[in-house]
Each structure stands twice: as C-alpha cells, then as structure tokens.
Structure 1
Amino acid sequence: MPLLDIQRRGQQIGRLRIGQQVPSKQDPNKMRPARLDTFRFTTQSRVAADAIAELYGGTVKDWNNEFEVITGRDTIGVTVPPRDQVVSQWYEMWSKGGCSRRCDSQIEQISGGPCQCPHADDPNDLSQIEAAAKERARLAALNPPQACKAITRISVMIPDLPGLGVFRLDTHSYYAAVEIGDAAALMQAARDQGVFLPAVLRIEHRQRVARGRTKKFPVPVLEVMATFRQIASGQLEAGGLQAQLPPPPAGQQRQLTSGVQAPHPTPSQLPQTGEAPLTAQQIADRAKSASTRQEIEALVDLAKDERVGEDLVATSPDTFEDLADFLRDRWRALPQAGGEKQ
C-alpha cells in the first residue's frame, strides 16, 4: 500500500534538453549557449545513457559528473504518468544559492508574500497582464536578473528505455507555457482514472513574420495522442497498458543527419571592410561580454547595418529573443560613463 499522505513522484532518471553550452570563439575559456535541432539527454545512469545512444543515435560522453547523449531525434514517443507534478509552471529567480523566488504572478511561494515582480493587479485584465509580462521579461533579461522568468517543467516516462522513472524537460519558452494548458484537462482526467497517456514530445520549428522579416525558433511540444472521448468513456483504461503506449521508435519520427547544429563562430573584433558580416548570434555573443554602453551602441549600429535586429538569438540554452531587445536590455544593464545605471 502507498503512503496516503505523500504525493507520488517518479524518480528522475535524467533530463531532456534542446540546447548546449559551446566554447566561445572569442575566448575559448568562456562558454556560450547554442540551440540544438534534436534532443540532448543528460543522466547519471550509464545504463540509461547507453540505451539512449542505441535507440536514438548519438555518442555517450562525460558531462559534469554525468553522461550526455546528443541524439539524432527531434521527436520521441513518451508516456505521461498518472502522477502529480507531471507539469509544473512557475515564475522563478535563481542565484548561486538556489531558487530565491517562486511565484504564480500573485503569491511568492517561498516567503508566502505577494509577488515581487511586475504583475497585473487584476488577473482578469488582459491589458494589465500583457504590460506586466513585457516589463517582467525586460527586468529578467538584465544582468543580474531583476525579475523572475517563466519556466515550464515537463516530466515524462520513455517506455522504450530501462527504468520506471521520468525524464524532465525545462523550458523558458512562452509558447510552451501557454500551450501546455490545453492538455491540462486531459491529464487531469487520465490522472483521476489512473491511466497513462500516450504522447509524443517533439521539437517544433516555427516561424513568425514581424516588420517584414521572418524569424525561426524552436518550441518543445507535448502532443497527447489520446482523445478526450477515449479517456472519458474509459476506452483507454479498458485497453490496458498496451493501449497506453506511444508508437514504437521505428516508425515514430524522422532521423536527422546530425543532432548538433553548427555553432556560430564569434570573431574577436567587429568586421572591417572586406570581411564577412557578423550574424545576429555573433553580435549577441559580443554583447554578453561587453563592459561599456559604447560597445553596445556600436553593436546596435552594426545590427542595423546588417538588418539582423529582428533575428532571434540564443541568450541561454532554452531561451531565444530578438537581437534588438537583447541589445537594449544589455545597454540598460551597463553603467553610464559616470558610473550610474539608467
């Protein structure tokens, strides 16, 4: 019999990631984030790492006292277990000492007090919510952050790998945060019946057009394969565990030729006449190491000349934003010539 006063939570076997840290071309001793087109696993289990490499491709490598495998897959069949905390969403602020704030936009959970970040006084007022979200995002991008970032954590079982625990994916994606709510009703209904939900976790490559420019960005998507009717009618439960499994890996997804996207080189100086122009990511990488506003202003001018201000850049392994917005926030975070920040 389980303990009735303890929530069930699966053992975490490892993590699923869609980014990695790579050496900076400007300074090999420093690291910068780079996005991936395929899933990257990290785990402390050598058995799990070997199974991941065999099933999804890739090579097992040592990583921070763990093992990592950059696979050749952008889609993985998973199962959503009937447990609490399968999906969690919070606004959080982290420091070297750990998580210092965690809130739902109204109540700060650690202190029990009100949210300390910009938030809507009326949670039903969409204009207030939008304005607060923009200001919170601006403050969160400062160095050090002055506000919390939204984070969505998804814990899933992978039935084709050894072990009965879960793999967790963390993402700061706005789209993942708002879209995961669509599956909440299905997950709750399945949890009430004690059934496992067959699903697919995939990296969806999207694009949007703003100011005449097309931007491409990845979004992790959890696609539940069971219908509400199948769950509500008991059909999924009646089918047994076999009906609650996702498709087998062989016919499940396409395999890419490489799991690693070529990193953007970062030159040590701004390009001169006759040199290849910098990409948006290269400009962002230089901005991260800039120490004066004058350096940022030069990069802003360069971004305008190259017309890459609207391009998305990786500012952390799982976070992407417009280059122009990132440069503006970096400029604001640096002191003026007299030493005062604006």
Structure 2
Amino acid sequence: MLLSLRIYETDPDAKPRPRNPFVDDVVGRVSAGMMQGRRPVALSTFRFCSDDPAVTDRVAELYGGTPEDYDENTSHVITDAVTVDAIVDGPDALRSSLILFGPSGPIHHCDGVEFLEPPEDRGTPCGCPPSLRERKDLARSGRGPKPHIELRFRLHDDPELGYFVLRTSSWSTVAELPAAQDTLEEINGPAKVRLVMEHVEYTTKAGRAVSYHYPALTVIGAA
C-alpha cells in the first residue's frame, strides 16, 4: 500500500498551490503606472520592476532610466522607452479577463459573459451589462470589474534576460485585444510584439481636455 502524508486534510488552507508556469519563472514586471503611497500615478514611459537588481540594471542599459529601490525587496526603473519590442512564445502568452477586487482578493472574476471563478460558478452568467459604456461606468464607480490583461514575453533586445509580465487594466488596450489575439492564433508559435506607450488627447463635448497614456500592443509577425 502506498503511504503518503495527509497533513493538509486537517489544514487545507496551508496546502501549496500548483505551480503556475505563466508567472513562476518571471524575472520582472512591466507597467504603465505605479503607486506613490496610496495614490496611483500614471506614467508616459514603461516601468520595469524586479526582485533582482541585476535585471533592472540591464533594463536601464537597454532603455534608459535610473534603477532605484522601490521597497525592501524590489528594484524598479522608469525607463525612457515609449516603445519596447517583445517576443512571446505563442497565443497563450496573452491573457485577459475582468476582475473586481475586494479587501482580501477577487470578488468577481469573469470573461465578460460568464464567471471564471469561483470553480462552482465557472461557466454561469456573470451578470455584467451588455454595453461597453455600462461596463466602464460600473468599473469607475467601483461596483464592476475592470480589465485584467497580462502579456508574458521576453525582450527582443535581450531574450536571455528572462520572462517579463506586462499588466494593465486599460480599456483602451482592451480594444486592441481581438486583433492581437487573432494574429497570435494564426501564427500559433513564437511571435514578435511591439509595445508602445500610446498618448491620447481629446476634448469632450463638455469642453474638458482629456490626456492619458496606455500600453498599446501590435503583433508584428512570427519571430
């Protein structure tokens, strides 16, 4: 008879989670913003974070900026780069969903039509409104989920440095997902993707000037 430990039967919360290859071997994270205290700050260039200062040092060599300690465990660099070319392994490198976070984690996680979590609700209608405008309004009010987009990639300029994950909650990036996903599916293998910090300016009908940046992504072709 096979003998095995049963210690997690009495404390299931302590059971280690299965390895997630999407993020477990990632050397750094990329974003279009950061937190200063409790206040989110938008950036006009790409920001890289890593637990390894050697990674941010190399990123600074490639894209400019000055590496700094962000906290006791993390180094970061706000680069000078508005464009970063990346290599992805295939269509699974791009993930997207809608998430509403509560104090202790996600309280609503869906694909816009059906729940993704919790497991017992997966595949059932999520109840989100059909129109994009209503979805945005609910998200802005804190009563609806926001986009949660992740792209796992290596730097085209230094693939050996390792994998990075870009995360964004931009609705503008959402608009580019169908074309990017379709092209990645067609290539169905390693592909080159161009990341651009896109600048948007316009004036509303009420006369209010709006200006912001978001990470745009375009699939260039097979890598």
Q: Same fold (TM over 0.5)?
A: yes
1:40 aligns with 2:47: yes
Residue type matched to 2:28 in 1? G
Matches within 5 A, 1:50-69: 50-64=57-71, 65-69=73-77
Distance 1:47 1:162 in 2: 15
Distance 1:38 1:79 in 2: 19
Counterpart of 2:138? 139
Residues 9 and 17 of structure 1, relative CA distance in 2, 3 Å threshold: closer
State the 4+ residue runs in structure 1 displaced beyond 6 angstroms. Answer: none
Residue type matched to 1:187 in 2? L
Tell me, which stretches of 5 or more residues in structure 1 are unaligned? Answer: 1-5, 23-29, 120-128, 227-235, 237-243, 245-342
Counterpart of 2:197? 203
Instruction: Output the TM-score relative to the length of structure 2.
Output: 0.78
C-alpha displacement at 1:209, in angstroms? 3.3
Matches within 5 A, 1:283-302: none
1:95 aligns with 2:94: no
Residue type matched to 2:199 in 1? H
Distance 1:136 1:83 in 2: 26
Counterpart of 2:28? 14
Helix, strand or coil for the counterpart of 2:176? helix
Helix, strand or coil for the counterpart of 1:157? strand
Counterpart of 1:285? none
C-alpha displacement at 1:214, in angstroms? 4.1
C-alpha displacement at 1:219, in angstroms? 2.1
Tell me, which stretches of 5 or more residues in structure 2 are unaligned? Answer: 1-18
C-alpha displacement at 1:186, in angstroms? 1.6
Distance 1:186 1:137 in 2: 26
Helix, strand or coil for the counterpart of 2:80? coil
Distance 1:164 1:134 in 2: 40
Residue type matched to 1:168 in 2? V
Counterpart of 2:179? 182
Instruction: Output the TM-score relative to the length of structure 1.
Output: 0.53
Residue type matched to 1:150 in 2? P
Counterpart of 1:118? 128
Helix, strand or coil for the counterpart of 2:144? coil
Residue of 221, 230, 255 corresponding to 2:216: 221
Higher strand share goes to which structure? 2
Helix, strand or coil for the counterpart of 2:150? strand
Residues 8 and 21 of structure 1, relative CA distance in 2, 3 Å threshold: closer
Q: Is the 8 A contact 1:117 1:136 kept in 2?
A: no
State percent identity of aligned pairs.
Answer: 27
C-alpha displacement at 1:17, in angstroms? 1.1
Counterpart of 1:74? 82
Q: Is the 8 A contact 1:51 1:161 kept in 2?
A: no
Distance 1:158 1:21 in 2: 24
Residues 164 and 9 of structure 1, relative CA distance in 2, 3 Å threshold: farther
Over residues 126-167 of structure 1, what are the superposed CA-to-partner deviations in whole Å (9 max), with x where a residue is unaligned?
xxx22xx4344333334xx32211222222210333646321
Distance 1:141 1:219 in 2: 17
Residues 54 and 164 of structure 1, relative CA distance in 2, 3 Å threshold: closer
Over residues 142-196 of structure 1, what are the superposed CA-to-partner deviations in whole Å (9 max), with x where a residue is unaligned?
4xx32211222222210333646321112121121021211222201222xx3x2
